[in-house]
Chains A and B, each alone.
Chain A
């Protein structure tokens, strides 16, 4: 029916189909809505696209998760058609909450925390980017992450990086608690079928949950929220058909 669609994104490890939150969100949504996507993980080829994930369909090239999801919806792959208007509005609100409160801590854990970055993130990403870009690109991504954290959260009265870090982790833990309360005991956020919100939450939580970092305060907090862990594991087993292994 639709033209063949290819998704270019970062690959996975530690039992996840992708380590990159945005790529994971798009892949999860595609599984939920049944969109036939061919996934090309970036692996040492010279065509490392700038904004990942990227969807290529015939001549259209679309780059951000929100736009890719809109495109899939227009192609009739819609995971949200059973939602009421209010639930659709709730989706937008919770996605904003994730981006404001959880994303800075996620970026920090992956790209700014020195031990994590040097021992896990940088080697992993560098091994998938061709030389000599592998010497430059991870450093650039790290600087961009730090920049984003400082510009959005780093103003007065927080004057040092340690204070900013303390604040963003506090916000992230509060955000995880709120998500856990909202999920409660149900299987997905809006009943029994997964929707856009589930894709976004899964995309943000699964990397924190699964990747083995040396400094893991966010992961430890997440592991105490058993319903969120169960949520991630359910999606992995049902939709990604991977066994849950620890890296």
Chain B
């Protein structure tokens, strides 16, 4: 986005207060979402909780395609749609809420550096494990990624995504790495985070910042997602202060909220589960005959029929 457009967006953002009906979109929690996307979504949820901004989590099978940048999660606030943690932090800052205002310049530089470390090592390792490790790909990723779609679309979409991720891994030099090397990198990253955290409650002592939200999102997801082996979560468990950190943030920001806050789940199975009864209800709603004529629908704003979904999507894009 050009500088002018960005300044304009910030002006628009600053104009309105945070609404009550802000929504965060991610993929389907039980069946479809993958490790890396879940980590990103949890990081954003944690950040918004830390800022005391209410948001409801909406699960949609096509969340990735609705997102303006192709990545989940994205938030729909007022009439703006913002995706990924970085831009969401900027957006929230334009609305007057910030977690890192109390930091001095050197600390802000450090915070940005550590966020890049998490993105560079942890996120890339998660993507590698999900898309480049053959066993995980066959048993977990392919079934989950395409689960909302019928055959052959499910296979085509997941192969397409896999090809895209492998190209990226090759470009940054991770394609030649073995799983052991990747796990070693994860270990190094966790060691750095553990040493930086030390015995403090948060990375910048008393108050949580977006770095805490990001680290929580990734580490909690790694600790609570069941994969083929436990090697990844073992690497994190080696560092007691990191597990205590995750537990502390979960207790402080997620317990006592509704169960849509996905942090309440523990050791959630990543394997394919029974079909969700809610999903069946939604499918039957989509083909509700009343809604072929928009005017005949009884509840246009919450109707989930295909015509109204289309209208809502157009509104979102605007």
Contacts and interface: CB of A to CB of B under 8 A. Distances in A.
A179 B113 CA distance: 10
Nearest to B71: A155
Contacts of B105: 181
User: Which has the most chain A C-beta neighbours within 10 Å: B68, B167, B193, B196?
Assistant: B196
B117 A92 contact: yes
A93 B192 contact: yes
A158 to B, nearest CB: 8
A90 interface: yes
Interface string A127-163: 0000000000000000010011001100111100001
A96 B167 CA distance: 20
B171 A156 contact: no
Interface of A: 64, 85-86, 88-90, 92-94, 96-97, 99-101, 144, 147-148, 151-152, 155-158, 163, 166, 170, 178-179, 181-182, 184
Which 5 pairs show the lowest CB-CB distances between chains A and B? A89-B192, A93-B113, A178-B109, A96-B117, A96-B120
Contacts of A155: 69-71
B198 interface: yes
Given A93-B116, A179-B109, 6 more contacts: A85-B195, A89-B191, A89-B193, A90-B113, A94-B113, A152-B172
Interface in B175-233: 188-189, 191-193, 195-196, 198
A97 to B, nearest CB: 4
Nearest to A175: B112
B293 interface: no
Nearest to A162: B2
Given A155-B69, A156-B70, A181-B109, A148 B171 contact: yes
A148 B188 contact: no
Interface in B100-126: 105-106, 108-110, 112-114, 116-117, 119-121
Given A89-B196, A92-B189, A182 B106 contact: yes
17 contacts: A86-B198, A89-B196, A90-B196, A92-B188, A93-B192, A96-B116, A96-B121, A144-B171, A151-B167, A151-B168, A152-B168, A152-B172, A155-B69, A157-B69, A178-B112, A181-B105, A181-B106
B15 interface: no
A157 B284 CA distance: 34
Given A88-B192, A89-B191, A96-B120, A157 B113 contact: no
Given A152-B168, A157-B68, A166-B2, A178 B113 contact: yes
Contact of B120 (A100, A144, A148, A163): A100
A172 B14 CA distance: 27
B195 A89 contact: yes
B172 A148 contact: yes
B1 interface: yes
Contact of B116 (A64, A100, A156, A163): A100
Chain B interface main SS type: helix
A97 B196 contact: no
Contact of A86 (B113, B121, B172, B196): B196
Interface of B: 1-3, 68-71, 105-106, 108-110, 112-114, 116-117, 119-121, 167-168, 171-173, 188-189, 191-193, 195-196, 198
Contacts of B173: 64
B113 A97 contact: yes
Contacts of A156: 68-70
A92 B2 contact: no
Contact of A92 (B3, B108, B167, B192): B192
A80 B42 CA distance: 36
B117 A93 contact: yes
B110 A151 contact: no
Contacts of B120: 96, 99-100
Which of B113, B119, B191: most chain A Cβ within 10 A?
A: B113
Contacts of B110: 90, 93, 182
A88 B195 contact: yes
Contacts of B116: 93, 96-97, 99-101
A155 B192 CA distance: 30
Contacts of A178: 108-109, 112-113
Contacts of A86: 195-196, 198
A96 B110 CA distance: 11
Nearest to A148: B171
Contacts of A89: 191-193, 195-196
A160 to B, nearest CB: 11
A178 B114 CA distance: 13
A64 B174 CA distance: 12
B109 A147 contact: no
A219 to B, nearest CB: 21
A88 B189 CA distance: 11
A156 B66 CA distance: 12
Contacts of A96: 113, 116-117, 119-121
Given A89-B193, A93-B110, A152 B171 contact: yes
Nearest to B6: A170
A1 B7 CA distance: 60
A184 B171 contact: no
Contacts of B106: 181-182, 184
